[in-house]
Structure 1
């Protein structure tokens, strides 16, 4: 089943992003370390390249991802054109402000001091931790934080203590997910609205993926001796192990699916990454007409 989700507010947000892109110096994109490429929005990449804006990729939630793959993904992103990257997890978020500011100065060294503050557009798909990061940067609550994607629906302008100006945007997906794998990974990670996918299907996808990549984590969490049989067999054994059983001994598929998905999202299965750098040669691309974008005006370079 192909998963698609592009609610109405994202269409208007995409237009606002295109307008703001013309007056900033750089883009900061936040991605999920557990699915770095799937959580990278190809529409953002196309828009910034159209405006020739460099990018700083913040690989967030590294404390929930495979430590070895964190470093591999950092090196991979740094090899992409006009792209810098840094790792960020809960343990480093409190001191993120100064580090991000320093990275931004390296990306756009011509913007310095109070007269020419760095202007950055911070972007990310839903539920990659962007709102939590914004609150940490400002050292106060300025953005709502929730596990439900699509909570933030409007753009806001904030100024960091060092004078850096950030334009914070709603979580933004792209109109069509070309890859079925991408859709399932985003659904498992919590970046897609709940009504857009079947939770049992996504939990089966999680079992199959983890059986291939992290079998020990799956067996330890659910106290399984092996992972033999079809995905459905493993799913049913997990359901019984966790008490997702209805009267008559029938499996409560909805409850079992919610348990598996929640365990992944909360890190109860351990530090896992669903993608490896050797599976990708470049950032994903997206075909989008750019005719309706605002013209680049002289005012964007006046200050």
Structure 2
């Protein structure tokens, strides 16, 4: 698979702006995809936000395997970082944000109350890589309170505080944060979940890699969803069986790989294969421990 690279210049600018804006906020809300809780993070965030209270939202948690999501919550939590499982589209779990922020900012708030301040407005910066659900989250929290200041690339957004009904004001991240593609696994995870656009991927190769990945930990999901007899040691054979079951054939009984690729990726992303997590906090975790 070809290496995917982004512009380091843009990245530097974004990091600089985040650093500047951090002075204006009490805390940071970072959004990740629960199915790929490591791959959907920007690794520089830890460094950039050091010392700032942070909430990590594991979005699309309705699509991930609950047990694995809980493992991630334990793994990513610390005194200064709280983790919530949410669905930004439906709003599930978002009501936990306010009490969690209050917990993280308790000392600061106690000091302000001691000075006689009654109503405290919390200010947060929202960060996340593209396509993990950041704008969905902001829209859901703001309930259409948002005035768009220019969506086209190159149109400078003025610094815009977005009000919510929870006594929280949000600041969207300036610029774009990209994940780091240090290995093919990260790139594949992002491509499987649709965080990298299909147009720049070879989707036939992608669907083969998805089957290869799923048949190691989620073979029962494949067997059940596609009514195949078994998964074959060779992922290509498994892919062929699924294609035949779905009638993805062209003249002469040849497999229509493009058609089955579209179906597989679509059904995986839509949660139709069941709840699936593509990475684990502890990658050498045994299958038994996850499946048991």
Q: After TM superposition, is the score higher than 0.5?
A: yes
Larger radius of gyration: 2
Length-normalised TM-score, structure 2: 0.81
Change (3 A) 1:153 1:6: farther
Q: Provide the C-alpha distance between the structure 1 equivalents of 2:242 and 2:201, rounded to a whole number of angstroms.
A: 21
Is 1:99 the counterpart of 2:100 in the alignment?
Answer: no
Q: Please give the secondary structure, in 2, of the residue aligned with 1:86.
A: strand
Q: Provide the C-alpha distance between the structure 2 equivalents of 1:153 and 1:249, rounded to a whole number of angstroms.
A: 54
Q: Provide the C-alpha distance between the structure 2 equivalents of 1:140 and 1:60, rounded to a whole number of angstroms.
A: 20
Match of 2:52 in 1: 53
String of CA shifts for 1:221-262, please: whole Å, max 9, x gaps. 111110114111111221222222222322222221111111
Length-normalised TM-score, structure 1: 0.78
Q: Provide the C-alpha distance between the structure 2 equivalents of 1:157 and 1:67, rounded to a whole number of angstroms.
A: 34
Runs of 5+ consecutive residues of structure 1 not aligned to the other structure:
145-149, 282-303
Aligned residues: 270
Q: Please give the secondary structure, in 1, of the residue aligned with 2:282.
A: helix
Report the RMSD for the aligned CA atoms in angstroms. Answer: 3.0
1:1-303, aligned counterparts within 5 Å? 1-6=1-6, 11=11, 13-49=14-50, 52-79=51-78, 82-89=80-87, 93=91, 96=94, 98-109=95-106, 110-111=108-109, 117-140=121-144, 142=146, 156-169=160-173, 172-174=177-179, 176-279=180-283
Deviation at 1:74, TM superposition (A): 1.4
Q: Please give the secondary structure, in 2, of the residue aligned with 1:136.
A: helix
Runs of 5+ consecutive residues of structure 2 not aligned to the other structure:
286-292
Q: Provide the C-alpha distance between the structure 2 equivalents of 1:238 and 1:24, rounded to a whole number of angstroms.
A: 50
- The answer to whether the 8 Å contact 1:5/1:196 transfers is no
Q: Provide the C-alpha distance between the structure 2 equivalents of 1:90 and 1:272, rounded to a whole number of angstroms.
A: 18
